[in-house]
Every structure is written in C-alpha cells, then in structure tokens.
Structure 1
Amino acid sequence: MEMDLATYEERARNGPCFVCAFLRGDPDYRHETVYEDADHIAFLDRWPTLPGRVLVAPKAHVEHVVRDLDEAAYTRLMLVVRRVARAVESVLRPERTYLLSLGSQEANSHLHWHIAALPPGVPLGRQQYHALMAENGILDPPPEEITDLVTRLRAALGEEPPPTG
C-alpha cells in the first residue's frame, strides 16, 4: 500500500508528540500495545513496512538516546527493547531483526526504538534500509491479523522473565 508521505510529515512536524499523545489516550494517536511497564511502552507501528514492526519508547518525554538517559535508564530501556525483540523473533521467526532509533528535533522527537523483523526470503535489494522506508510502501493488515499478532506477542512476552538492572 502506498503511504501519503506529505500528510504523515505534516502530522509529525505540526502535531503533538505521537508517543505522549498515545499515552494520554488521544484517539487520533491510538496504537496496539504489546508491552508496558512503569517506565516503558511497546506498541505496533501504525504504518509498518514489515510484519510485526514494534516501537519501544520510554514513557517520559526523552529526546536524545545518548544525552538524556543516564546509564541505568539507558540499560533498562535497552533490556526492554531486547525483551520485546526476542518476543517478535519467537512469534515471527525472521531472517534478521533490525533495531534502530529514529526521529529528529523537527519531527517524532520522542525517543523510540524500532524493532523490525525481516521475513525469510526477502531479496537482498529489498532488505535493510529499503525494507524500512515507508516510501517503498506500507502494510495494511486486516484487524483480525493485528489482534492475533498482539495476542501472540503478549503471550511471548509473558513467557520471558522481566528485565533486571
């Protein structure tokens, strides 16, 4: 499915912080939560380029992964990213799992990590950055597929011990 990049960019630049709006319960920024603890939230990407793409963010509005987190907070966040990524891998069995932090001061400034599971068999020319770019199309899974994925991810997360540190 083609993505309306101009509308997305306008929303990202001029709308509220998408993570903070989601956490406040703004219906225009609704996402499917797969994991939550006192300090972090993990949810399905609204515009996935790969099946089961999940975002993980601190609940506090933090903008810089290196400057704004002390070592303990960074470690706790990365343990959550790893825990969620392991659940994604157990459910989707990808060839490779991409982890990256995106955003900028101009748009999507709230620190968040993308967990993107590359399915087996994707040709090399459609892997890596190509697979992550909305310009190359987004998926539009039916609601029942999303519900099933959320259920399976939550179950997989329930099987792992909570992060420590």
Structure 2
Amino acid sequence: MERRPMDLAAYTERSRTGPCFVCAFLSGDPDHRHATVYEDDDHVAFLDRYPTLPGKVLVAPKAHVEHVVAGLDEGAYTRLMLLVREVALAMESAFEVERTYLLSLGSQQGNSHLHWHVAALPPGVPYEQQQYHALMGENGVLVPTPGEVESLAERLRAAIRDRRRAG
C-alpha cells in the first residue's frame, strides 16, 4: 500500500469547520463515505479514511456523544468498550499483529464525536516508527485502492462474524 504525505492543513480545516464526520457518514453524506466493518443499533465500526496502519478502524456510538467517559452511562460505556475489544480481537485474527493500539482522540475543537481508533501494528516495524509515530498523520497516510479497502473491510467483517459465531 502506498504511503503519501497528508494534507494536514486541509484535514484540520475540515475537522474544525466541517460537519461531524461520524454523523455525516451515518447520514449517507457521499463526501464522508467509509467502509463499514460492523454496525448495530447503537454503534458503528468503519475503516479510517486516513489510515496510518493497514486496516485501521474507528469505532463510535451512533449517537453524537462528545465525552469519552462523562458522555455515556456505565452500561453504554461498557457496551462500547466491549465492541472496541471485539473489533481489536477480530483485527488480531485477520492480520499479523505485533501490538494493537487503542486510542480515543478528538476534542471540542475538532472531531468531537466520540470515537476509538483501533490500529494493528504489523510485526517488524522498527521501534522508532512504532507507538505515536505509527499513528500520526504527520508521518504520512496509507492510500489503499478501492479494491484494497474492500478487501480489508471484508477480512474484518468476516473475522467479526467468526468471533460472534464462536462466542
């Protein structure tokens, strides 16, 4: 998969002044398409539009919640975190993984809709290119072809289905 520099200025502008990207995606806005890997009545998991690692997934509640802890009651928080875990475990069964990173990013100033990043670090990445370095758009983003996006999404959908059937 090709890695290209990210237009951080355009991304920041879109994040801070555009519509909520999760709500726009869920409403079907064609400018905010993502490949869905899981959806239920309350949550959605989809491939990141700007992946820094192959198959990077975002997991979000469908409701526009902005605070990772205070915005959810205990039951909603637990259900969301169980889904984050399920997606991470599916990712680990679908890809060769040295470590799985889980982060909740965003702020009131941009990308405010609560979402978790689930990213699989492939084996063999030099230590200096792991952790935050591997997740930062400043270090470039992967640009998968439409076929690669669909293949990644299907691998993750199948892994989630398999886990659900087994569990």
TM range (shorter): over 0.9
- Measure how far apart 1:161 and its partner are: 2.5
- Partner AA of 2:43 in structure 1: H
Supply the distance in 1 between the matched residues of 2:69 and 2:150 (Cα, whole angstroms): 34
Other structure's SS at 1:117 match: strand
Other structure's SS at 1:75 match: helix
Supply the distance in 2 between the matched residues of 1:10 and 1:51 (Cα, whole angstroms): 25
Question: What is the match of residue 14 of structure 1?
Answer: 17
Unaligned runs of 5+ in 2: none
1:127-148 residue CA offsets vs partner (Å, 9 max, x unmatched): 0000000000000111111111
- Partner AA of 1:48 in structure 2: P
- 25-34 or 141-150, larger mean C-alpha shift: 141-150
Supply the distance in 2 between the matched residues of 1:36 and 1:96 (Cα, whole angstroms): 25
TM-score between the two structures when normalised by the length of structure 1: 0.96
1:3 aligns with 2:9: no
> Which of 125, 143, 148 lines up with 2:146 in the alignment?
143
> Which of 103, 117, 120 lines up with 1:117 in the alignment?
120
1:26-82 residue CA offsets vs partner (Å, 9 max, x unmatched): 000110000000000000000000000000000000000111111100000001101
Moved over 4 A (4+): none
- Root-mean-square deviation (Å): 1.1
Supply the distance in 1 between the matched residues of 2:40 and 2:96 (Cα, whole angstroms): 25
Supply the distance in 1 between the matched residues of 2:70 and 2:41 (Cα, whole angstroms): 22
Other structure's SS at 1:106 match: coil
Question: What is the match of residue 53 of structure 2?
Answer: 50
- Partner AA of 2:107 in structure 1: S
Unaligned runs of 5+ in 1: none
1:104 aligns with 2:134: no
TM-score between the two structures when normalised by the length of structure 2: 0.95
> Which of 34, 37, 53 lines up with 1:34 in the alignment?
37
- Measure how far apart 1:149 and its partner are: 1.1
Supply the distance in 1 between the matched residues of 2:130 and 2:81 (Cα, whole angstroms): 24
How many residue pairs align between the two structures?
Answer: 163
